[in-house]
Amino acid sequence: MTLSTTSSPVNYGAVPDGTGRFGPYGGKYVPETLMPALEELEEAYLNARIDQEFMQELAHLQHTYVGRPTPLTYARRLSEELGGAQIYLKREDLAHSGAHKINNALGQALLMKRKMGKSRIVAETGAGQHGVATATASALLGIECIVYMGTVDMERQKPNVFRMELLGTEVRSVDSGSQTLKDAINEAIRDWVTNVETTHYLLGSALGPHPYPAMVRDFQSIIGREAHSQMQEPAEGGPGRLPDVIVACVGGGSNAIGIFHPFLEEESVRLIGVEAGGHGIEDGAHAARFADPERGRLGVLQGTKSYVLQDSDGQIALTHSISAGLDYASVGPEHAWLRDVGRSEYTYCTDTQTLAGFKALCELEGIIPALESAHAVGYVLELAPQMAKDQVILINLSGRGDKDLGTVMQTIGGDR
Partner 1 sequence: MNGVDRIDQVFRDLKKSGGAAFMPYHAMGYPTRQESVEVVAALAKAGADIIEFGIPHSDPLADGPTIQTATFSALVGGTTVADCLQMSRELRDRGVETPFCAMSYYNPILAFGEERFVEAAADAGMDGLIVPDLPPGESEMLEPACRAAGLATVYMLAPTSTEERIKSVARHTTGFIYLVSVTGITGARDELPPGLPAFVERVRRHTDLPLAVGFGISTGSQAARVANIAQGVVVGSALVKAAGSGEGLEAVRSLAEQLATGSHQTQGESG
For 400, the enclosing helix (H) or strand (E) is none
Indicate whether 293 belongs to the interface with partner 1 (CB under 8 A).
Answer: no
* Residue 328 contacts residue 251 (beta carbons within 8 Å): yes
Smallest gap from Cβ 135 to partner 1, in A, equals: 23
Indicate whether 268 belongs to the interface with partner 1 (CB under 8 A).
Answer: no
Q: How far apart are CA 391 and CA 112, in angstroms?
A: 43
Indicate whether 296 belongs to the interface with partner 1 (CB under 8 A).
Answer: no
Interface mask toward partner 1 for 37-56; x: CB under 8 A: x-x-----------------
Rg (CA), the chain: 20
Q: Which is nearer to partner 1, 8 or 19 (CB)?
A: 19
Q: Which is nearer to partner 1, 195 or 411 (CB)?
A: 195
- Of 169-208, binders to partner 1 (CB under 8 A) are 176-177, 182, 186, 189-190, 193-197
What is the total count of residues that contact partner 1 (CB under 8 A)? 38
Indicate whether 324 belongs to the interface with partner 1 (CB under 8 A).
Answer: no
Q: Which of 182, 334, 398, 403 is catalytic?
A: 398
The only residue of 1, 24, 36, 142 in contact with partner 1, by rule CB under 8 A: 36
> Is residue 124 among the annotated active site residues?
yes
> Is residue 344 among the annotated active site residues?
no
> Is residue 118 among the annotated active site residues?
no
Indicate whether 120 belongs to the interface with partner 1 (CB under 8 A).
Answer: no
DSSP 92: G
Q: Which amino acid is at 68?
A: R
The only residue of 46, 298, 405, 412 in contact with partner 1, by rule CB under 8 A: 298
Instruction: Answer positive or negative: Cα dihedral of 195, 198, 203, 206.
Output: positive
Q: How far apart are CA 45 and CA 37, in angstroms?
A: 12
Long-range contact pairs involving 162-167 (C-beta distance under 8 Å, separation at least 24): 163/128, 163/132, 163/135, 164/125, 164/128, 164/131, 164/132, 164/135, 167/132, 167/135, 167/136, 167/138, 167/139
The only residue of 5, 312, 366, 416 in contact with partner 1, by rule CB under 8 A: 312
Q: Which is nearer to partner 1, 41 or 247 (CB)?
A: 41
Q: Which is nearer to partner 1, 34 or 110 (CB)?
A: 34
Closest CA to 383 of 87, 184, 74, 98: 87
* Residue 196 contacts residue 37 (beta carbons within 8 Å): yes
Closest CA to 335 of 13, 26, 8, 2: 26
Q: Which of 124, 275, 334, 365 is catalytic?
A: 124
Residues 197-209 as b/e (b if ≥16 CB within 10 A, e otherwise) read: eebbbbbbbbbbb
Give the Cβ contact number of residue 232 at 10 Å: 13
Smallest gap from Cβ 303 to partner 1, in A, equals: 7
Strand duo 199-201 + 296-301: pairing: unpaired
Does residue 333 have a cis peptide bond before it, meaning omega lies within 30 degrees of 0?
A: no
Smallest gap from Cβ 196 to partner 1, in A, equals: 5
- Of 214-233, binders to partner 1 (CB under 8 A) are none
* Residue 97 contacts residue 104 (beta carbons within 8 Å): no
Indicate whether 310 belongs to the interface with partner 1 (CB under 8 A).
Answer: yes
Interface mask toward partner 1 for 77-116; x: CB under 8 A: ----------------------------------------
Indicate whether 19 belongs to the interface with partner 1 (CB under 8 A).
Answer: yes
Q: Which of 28, 90, 101, 115 is catalytic?
A: 101
Q: What is the contact surface with partner 1 in residues (CB under 8 A)? A: 19, 27-37, 39, 176-177, 182, 186, 189-190, 193-197, 297-303, 308, 310, 312-316
Catalytic residues: 101, 124, 398
